[in-house]
Amino acid sequence: MGDSLSGGAPGRIGENPQAGCGAPVRASLDTIVSRLRYDLANVRIDQIIGAGPDPVFSFEFFPPKTPEGEENLYAAIEQLRPLDPAYVSVTYGAGGSTRGKTLEIVSRIRDEFGLEAMAHFTCVGATVEELRTTLDEMSRLGFDNVLALRGDPPAGQEEWTKTDGGLEYSAELVELIRGDYEFAIGAAAFPETHIHATSAEEDLRHLKTKVDAGVDFLITQLFFDNAAYFEFVARARALGVDAPIIPGILPITNVAQLHRIASLCGAVIPDGLRRELDARADDPEAVAELGVAYATLQCAELLAGGAPGIHFYTLNRSPATRAIVSALKLLRPWESPLAANAAPAG
């Protein structure tokens, strides 16, 4: 989705959400197993999408601005780790402001939690030489994957303007990475069209150029109407975009925050959902409950319809994502009879 929004997950480091007798033992065994697995085989995301019978679940986090936020982030990761995500990702703040922090958090998640973690990376405020320096650092740290983005204009700036000696579009960044580095490359896709695109057709044409430059997989901007995703995938395929397209889903937890995010990225809130949220405007708990129920149904339909995975915009919180993924793993909508009849998407 993009830039950081302050948030925080309740809970303590080391707390096992499936706690029962022997939970600490199970938690530490889980840790050892995932670390061993991680140490034995670093994960290239392009090689795991569609490789097994199950979809690829991933969780996005942002670098917090305060020590307390950081503590909450690692508590959320600890709580989400037992869900065995295929990978997690860490955003790159506006203006490249979190460069060091993004790389530090990605390294820590890989080393301490045994999870594959991917850094987001943008062209904002950097010359090509500076972009290369960061990519060299990612290589040195042993990263296997990178999400290549243009980035948004820094706060207070309406128009996108490229940095002198820098890059204009993400396709150029993809080209740079593909030319000189070994990373698996992800990029952004916009089912409801990028907010500053001149038209849906032009946006899709630029997406094709970007994928042809060397993108291995795409992750979409958040959306609340699955028809937008399915239609987008069909249009992309018709144009020859062949990379897997993983839908990005935001579990709604807070109405004011939802409106802020939706206005920043242009996501459409369907009328029915807006009505139900308005009806609960004074009841945060009821909003969060509806958010989980809505996102669970949304994900189930996407997976039954052939989406290759789900990327969750967690906002550094664990409860909603944990509930949704737990239910999905239990009911496995991608194996339902409905799924067998669906045309493959994603």
Asked if 194 touches ligand FAD (CB under 6 A), the answer is yes
Asked if 233 touches ligand FAD (CB under 6 A), the answer is no
Q: Which of 16, 79, 91, 321 binds ligand FAD (CB under 6 A)?
A: 91
Asked if 37 touches ligand FAD (CB under 6 A), the answer is no
Tokens of 39: 């140490």
Asked if 110 touches ligand FAD (CB under 6 A), the answer is no
- Which residue from 260, 269, 264, 250 is spatially nearest to 315, judged by alpha carbons? 250
Sign of CA dihedral 44, 50, 55, 59: positive
Asked if 2 touches ligand FAD (CB under 6 A), the answer is yes
Q: Among residues 242 and 283, whose Cβ is nearest to ligand FAD?
A: 242
SS3 162: coil
Give CA–CA dist 232/220, Å, rounded. Answer: 10
Q: Among residues 16 and 170, whose Cβ is nearest to ligand FAD?
A: 170
Asked if 235 touches ligand FAD (CB under 6 A), the answer is no
What are the angstrom distances between the C-alpha of 1 and each of 144, 187, 190?
A: 21, 11, 10
Tokens 């070994």 correspond to 182
Asked if 260 touches ligand FAD (CB under 6 A), the answer is no
Q: How far is the CB of 181 from ligand FAD (least distance, A)?
A: 17
Asked if 1 touches ligand FAD (CB under 6 A), the answer is yes
Residue 192, C-beta contacts closer than 8 angstroms, at least 6 positions apart? 221, 223, 228, 232, 266, 267, 268
Q: Among residues 160 and 339, whose Cβ is nearest to ligand FAD?
A: 160
**Which residues of the shown chain bind ligand FAD in the complex (CB under 6 A)?**
1-3, 91-92, 94, 120, 122, 149-152, 169-171, 188, 194, 196-197, 202-203, 206, 210, 219, 221, 248
